[in-house]
Structure 1
Amino acid sequence: MTVRLEPGTAAPDFSLLDQDGETVRLSDLRGEKIVLYFYPAAMTPGCTTQACDFRDSIASLQGSGYRVIGVSRDEPAKLAEFRDRDGLTFTLLSDPDHSVHTAYGVWGEKMNYGKVVEGVIRSTFVIDAAGSIAIAQYNVKATGHVARLRKLLGIDA
């Protein structure tokens, strides 16, 4: 059974490599508001749609004080290719053993084309400046998710 995070709980810390092979630690980002989203795989149709929506909304999110970070199981080289191919302007992190996915409750059973499979549950977390979960959204849809998140956060386009 996957444990899901609730608002008010501490965001699990992590240390992962980004698209450039640099280490990113959540603890080093204290004092910043973070939109941390988990997606199944770089350069797939749904994940590209979602990433491009974040890219297209980055000015309004950053203008409201949020830093966007995407996490997948892809290796840094593939994340760099994804960033370059789609002009992504935010950090992408590699979690190949899905340990951070598990800590956030986004690795587990899900329905995929009518079958139960184990994998990434597309999810988004807003982490406040103190390092606590402010919003936890599981099973989000790739299309329209960023617009709904902005509305929830009170951020205009």
Structure 2
Amino acid sequence: MTSSPWTACKGQEYPLSNFKDKVILIVNVASKCGFTSQYAGLEELYKNITAKHPDQFVILGFPCNQFGGQEPDAEAEIVAFCERNFGVTFPIMQKIEVNGDNAHPLFEWLKEQKSGLLGLKRIKWNFEKFLIGKDGQVKGRWASVTGPASLEKEILAELEK
């Protein structure tokens, strides 16, 4: 896994080395999308798993405005929206691009490791999900239509390894 530092929306640095030996679910998110309600499912998944496996699992949400302009707000407004409307407690990271010339290196790496439907590398829409195992390898990739609750079994399997 890449070791690039990240700045969370609340101004706190998050080097990826902070997540060594943890299972990570990485999601590109947006506040004005038909899938925005998945924030609630992601938060429920996060709370359920961290209750059983404290400090072993994290969800990282990466806001992105590349799909229909559905994340136009500044980072502080995004965090406030997530907390106010969905009670989000998992980290919402800096706003990034996931496709194209300005795609963040983490998402370039994720797409290279695990292609999507029909072998396509690019992120198709908001709320695509990548699961990283404790070993730092990409274990799975799911499209936007895959609800967070359906990932619990795979996440728990990775935590048991």
**What's the TM-score, normalizing by structure 1?**
0.67
Quick one: which of 5, 9, 20 aligns to 1:30? Answer: 20
Say whether the 8 Å CA contact 1:16–1:95 is kept in structure 2.
no
For residues 81 and 17 of structure 1, do their structure 2 counterparts lie closer, same or farther at Cα, with a shift above 3 Å needed?
same
Say whether the 8 Å CA contact 1:33–1:67 is kept in structure 2.
yes
Partner of 1:57: 45
Any gaps of 5 or more consecutive residues in structure 1?
1-10, 107-117
| In structure 2, distance between residues paired with 1:151 and 1:66 | 13
Indicate the SS of the match to 1:70.
Answer: strand
Residue 17 of structure 1 and its aligned partner are, at CA, apart by 1.8
Any gaps of 5 or more consecutive residues in structure 2?
65-70, 98-102, 113-122
Q: Tell me the amino acid that sits aligned with residue 148 of structure 2.
A: V
Superposition map of 1:103-122 within 5 A: 103-105=109-111, 120=125, 122=127
Say whether the 8 Å CA contact 2:35–2:144 is kept in structure 1.
no
Q: Tell me the amino acid that sits aligned with residue 78 of structure 2.
A: L
**Aligned residues between the structures:** 131
Partner of 2:80: 81
Quick one: which of 138, 151, 154 aligns to 1:152? Answer: 154
Superposition map of 1:9-20 within 5 A: 11-20=1-10
Point out the more displaced range, 71-80 or 87-96: 71-80
Where does structure 1 differ by over 6 angstroms across 4 or more consecutive aligned residues?
none
| In structure 2, distance between residues paired with 1:84 and 1:121 | 19
Give the percent of matched residue pairs that are identical in Structure 1 and Structure 2. 15
Partner of 1:96: 96
| In structure 2, distance between residues paired with 1:32 and 1:154 | 12
Indicate the SS of the match to 1:38.
Answer: strand
| In structure 2, distance between residues paired with 1:122 and 1:91 | 15
Residue 101 of structure 1 and its aligned partner are, at CA, apart by 3.1
Residue 94 of structure 1 and its aligned partner are, at CA, apart by 1.5
Instruction: Choose between structure 1 and 2: higher strand proportion.
Output: 1
Quick one: which of 118, 125, 132 aligns to 1:127? Answer: 132
RMSD across aligned C-alpha pairs, in angstroms?
2.9
